[in-house]
């Protein structure tokens, strides 16, 4: 079974694009399923189920989505094997743009849309910079000049990834992405595998449920933007 991790900012069109790509995979006789990761709630599983695509939902709640992903990915692989899938696709939103936990030797895909702004690629961390494949969505609603500038900015952030324009409504680009997914390496046991980048670090009093504001309530991993009396005059 091939594991493919797909991430991107919220509302970038991940689910619509994946529905089209899985449709193309099915036409080639490949069976794909989806693990939908989110924080508080999701309704995308209903869209997958409507198209008879096996889907499992994981909601992280108060836990960091990255940490939740890593501590559950092995169980997800077992679920995919039980469904006799050829491809298991995880879909998660990089809510802070610092995410997502891509795994070495596992195809990693970032979905980013042209409407997010020309400076957005510079604001996204490993989720964009360490992806193998970048899918550019919503290019049909911006000008050719905006598309070219946006593509240039994405290329600055990640010079190595393949860029593919896709359209979740028309299906444009789905065949190319299908072929790339089909060429992804087989994924064996993940125990002992490593992430491509360390996850966001936060072990502080607020992680443990603190609600008070003030330095007396702040313990652990705390970073200050500015401290009084430290500037030179």
**Residue that the structure tokens 């028309």 belong to:** 170
* Statement: residue 131 has pLDDT above 90: yes
Q: What is the pLDDT of residue 56?
A: 96
pLDDT grade, residue 146 (50/70/90)? very high
**pLDDT of 160-206, one tens digit each?**
999 999 999 999 999 999 999 999 999 988 988 999 988 877 778 88
Buried b (16+ CB within 10 A) or exposed e, 54-93: bbbbbebeeebbbebbeebbeebbebbeeeebbbbbbbbb
Q: What residues does 88 pair with on adjacent strands?
A: 3, 33
Positive/negative CA dihedral, 77, 81, 82, 84: positive
pLDDT grade, residue 229 (50/70/90)? low
Q: What is the pLDDT of residue 93?
A: 82
Secondary structure class of 68 (helix, strand, coil): helix
Cα(136)–Cα(95) distance, integer angstroms? 18
Which of 98 and 1 is assigned the larger pLDDT? 1
- Cβ neighbours of residue 149 under 8 Å, at least 6 residues apart? 118
pLDDT > 90 fraction of the chain, expressed in percent and rounded:
69
**Residue that the structure tokens 């494949």 belong to:** 133
pTM exceeding the 0.85 threshold for the entire prediction: yes
Q: Which helix (H) or strand (E) holds 55?
A: strand 55-59
Q: What is the pLDDT of residue 230?
A: 58
């Amino acid at each position: 079974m091939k594991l493919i991790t797909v991430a991107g900012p919220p509302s970038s069109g991940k689910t619509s694009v994946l529905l089209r790509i899985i449709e193309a995979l099915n036409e080639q006789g490949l069976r794909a399923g989806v693990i939908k990761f989110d924080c508080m709630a999701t309704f995308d599983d209903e869209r997958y189920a409507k198209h008879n695509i096996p889907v499992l939902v994981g909601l992280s709640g108060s836990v960091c989505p990255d940490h939740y992903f890593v501590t559950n990915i092995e169980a997800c692989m077992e679920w995919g094997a039980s469904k006799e899938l050829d491809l298991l696709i995880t879909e998660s939103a990089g809510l802070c743009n610092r995410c997502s936990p891509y795994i070495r030797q596992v195809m990693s895909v970032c979905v980013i849309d042209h409407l997010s702004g020309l400076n957005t690629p510079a604001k996204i961390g490993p989720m964009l910079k360490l992806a193998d494949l970048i899918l550019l969505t919503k290019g049909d609603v911006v000008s050719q000049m905006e598309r070219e500038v946006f593509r240039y900015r994405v290329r600055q952030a990640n010079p190595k990834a393949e860029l593919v324009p896709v359209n979740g409504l028309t299906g444009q680009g789905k065949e190319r992405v299908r072929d790339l997914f089909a060429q992804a390496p087989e994924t064996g046991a993940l125990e002992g595998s490593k992430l491509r980048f360390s996850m966001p670090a936060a072990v502080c009093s607020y992680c443990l449920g603190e609600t008070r504001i003030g330095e007396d309530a702040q313990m652990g991993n705390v970073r200050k933007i500015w401290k009084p009396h430290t500037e030179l005059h």
